[in-house]
Chain A
Amino acid sequence: MKYALYTGCTAKESTPELLKSTMAVAKVLGIELTILEEASCCGASHLQDFDEFLSLVLNARNICYAEKLGLTLITICNTCQINLATTKDRLDNDEELKDRVNEKLKEVGLEYKGSSEVKHLLYVLRDELGYEKIKNMVKKPLSDFNIAPFYGCHNIRPSELQNITNKGENPYNPTSLDELIETLGGKAVEYVRKNSCCGFHADLQAPNTAAKLTGLALSEAIDNNADFVVTPCPLCQLNFDVKQHEAGKKVGRDIELPVLHLAQMIGLALGLNKKELGLEHNVTEADF
């Protein structure tokens, strides 16, 4: 299985453990990833607030490089996913817009065709590799752990867009992560806020809002006996991991809860070691 990997900025900067664990896990699972080194930032759902057309052009360029390889583009960040998938959806359904974007891309010798799919790693694992296959490769079942799945907005909403690639995941009752946890032998924690927002995108301009949302979600996970949280989105991970003490203050309690990336959790079950999964980069000690 071959895919083009769009790393996003976070995996190259503030969550180096995400890229590390993704590459390590892919190798074990027999997934060949070609990193799109030419790619730029997706705009993180903020650039379009300033300049929508520019955001479309840059993301179309990103997808072009996967198309050149003839591969499906994999994302490992929910927000990269929604930005790239939105661009694809709009260009694939609006010839005039596509032409306008291609006019620009032509200046740098590229053309957006619409031939590559854009999918988050989570759904590639579920729908293309298959959880059954992962199950057979588990070396250290996570049977000691209650694991709180945190889905992250930009993989499940708006469902009209996301359902193109996530096969009917219900944003009010998502199951893909819960099922993965069970596949790895862990116990998925049931809690209401698993499909809610961590607040990341208002972090700078509305820090209280962001911190409260993070605090509420983590509190609920703790109250339901979570040993750690797992999320497919590095932005949720950052907010939860780096800011949990701040968030705790906002909701009036101490919070101490490890937060793992999707690939880190899978890696643990596949028997990869701490170093290979970059666990030393997690701010809240994740010493498993």
Chain B
Amino acid sequence: MADAIETKKIYLKVFRFNHETDYLPYYKNYEVVVSQDEVMLDVLNKIKWEFDSTFSYRRSCRHGICGSCGIKVNNRATLACKERVFDMIELFGNEMTIEPQSRKRVIKDMVIDKKDFWDKYNAVKPYMITAVDEHPDSENYMSPHDYENLKEADICVQCGNCYYACPSVEVNEDYLGPASLAKTYRFNFDTRDEAKIDRLDTVNDLGSGIWDCVKCYECAEACPKGVNPIEKITYLHTQTFQEGRAKSNVATRHAVGFKTSINMHGFLDEGMLVAYSEGIGVLKHLPEAFKMFRKGKIAMPWNMPKSKNLDEIKKLIKSSSSAKF
């Protein structure tokens, strides 16, 4: 007899909603037996095939490449066809809540309306812009080194996992979000592309662009392809300064202010940083500054802490600086 295949039972709580017939969403429980090699997409299939044929979800390639099967399992962004069920059991135990990527945008069960995702994706001109000869004699060459510099940004499958995991998107529907910004990087760091200034100006708008990222690393964690969007957002910040496209505003002054402050004290002069970043806008921080002052939370100029060996820090800032504002 062949070795028995190892199986496990999992207990599912599954989000159900049909926008045509349901007033409110509800959760339904299912018990499913899974075996070692199965992925979360097999679990969705079992629900559909064994329990309820109306259960709806998107899938196409089953190979982690079409990007259509994104869901949430215990609030963890998951590409269903890529995630092994046994790994999920190891992470969470055998009780799992299965939900769509965004409950706000659900159409039916796991199927959501991704229009917001695509609109923002399209907003950054997600294609190569360059004056190419349409009938070239040789290939439009890119060196391996230049290719490596794309840092895997080109393998995004537009699944939306990062985008619907992003808390900044959750509370600000204007924010472009991690996928669109990672795509901006993908073309802005492509040596053949010629539209980087244009894209930099698009992604530098306050309220929607790179400065609205809260640096939570949810996108890095959520991406099934290792795109690491937050890393790319950081390089868009530095590219903004390198290309001289930084407008003087609260966000850019904030980033630069750190250097100024470290150069003076080694430590951060928190009050000075806020004042310098905000300019006249500093006034709106007065009530909170007053609260902090009363509780002994504001360092005064005469007792600002200073690093020991401050001269070393100043010297390093002088010799190692690689950016200008």
**Most chain-B CB neighbours within 10 Å: which of A54, A105, A159, A192?**
A54
Complex contact B213–A202 (CB within 8 A) = yes
**Most chain-B CB neighbours within 10 Å: which of A50, A54, A108, A208?**
A50
With A47-B262, A173-B74, A204-B277 as given contacts, are A15 and B299 in contact (CB-CB < 8 Å)?
Answer: no
Complex CA distance for A193 and B218, rounded to whole angstroms: 13
Q: List 10 A-B contacts (CB under 8 A).
A: A49-B237, A50-B325, A110-B312, A157-B216, A172-B92, A202-B213, A204-B278, A205-B211, A246-B288, A281-B296
Complex CA distance for A243 and B234, rounded to whole angstroms: 27
Complex contact B221–A157 (CB within 8 A) = yes
**Most chain-A CB neighbours within 10 Å: which of B207, B254, B317?**
B254
Minimum C-beta distance from A264 to chain B (A): 14
Interface string of A177-196 (1 = CB under 8 A from B): 00000000000000010001
Complex contact A205–B206 (CB within 8 A) = yes
Complex contact A281–B167 (CB within 8 A) = no
Complex contact A43–B274 (CB within 8 A) = no
Complex contact A50–B267 (CB within 8 A) = no
Complex contact A243–B288 (CB within 8 A) = yes
Interface string of A235-260 (1 = CB under 8 A from B): 00000001100100000000000000
Which residues in A have their C-beta under 8 angstroms from that of B278? 204
Mark the stretch among B7-15, B191-199, B303-311 that contacts chain A: B303-311
Pick the contact of A51: B207, B268, B323 (CB < 8 A): B323
Pick the contact of B214: A10, A158, A213, A280 (CB < 8 A): A213
Interface string of B245-275 (1 = CB under 8 A from A): 0000111001110110110001110100010
Which residues in A have their C-beta under 8 angstroms from that of B255? 46-47, 49-50
Within 8 Å of chain B (Cβ to Cβ): is A165? no
Residues of A in contact, count (CB < 8 Å): 64
Within 8 Å of chain A (Cβ to Cβ): is B53? no
With A44-B258, A53-B322 as given contacts, are A58 and B75 in contact (CB-CB < 8 Å)?
Answer: no
Which residues in A have their C-beta under 8 angstroms from that of B75? 172, 192
Within 8 Å of chain B (Cβ to Cβ): is A39? yes
Within 8 Å of chain A (Cβ to Cβ): is B140? no
Which residues in B have their C-beta under 8 angstroms from that of A10? 270
Minimum C-beta distance from B235 to chain A (A): 8
In chain B between 194 and 231, which residues have their CB closer than 8 angstroms to a CB of chain A? 206-207, 211-218, 220-221, 228
Which residues in A have their C-beta under 8 angstroms from that of B171? 208-209, 212-213, 216
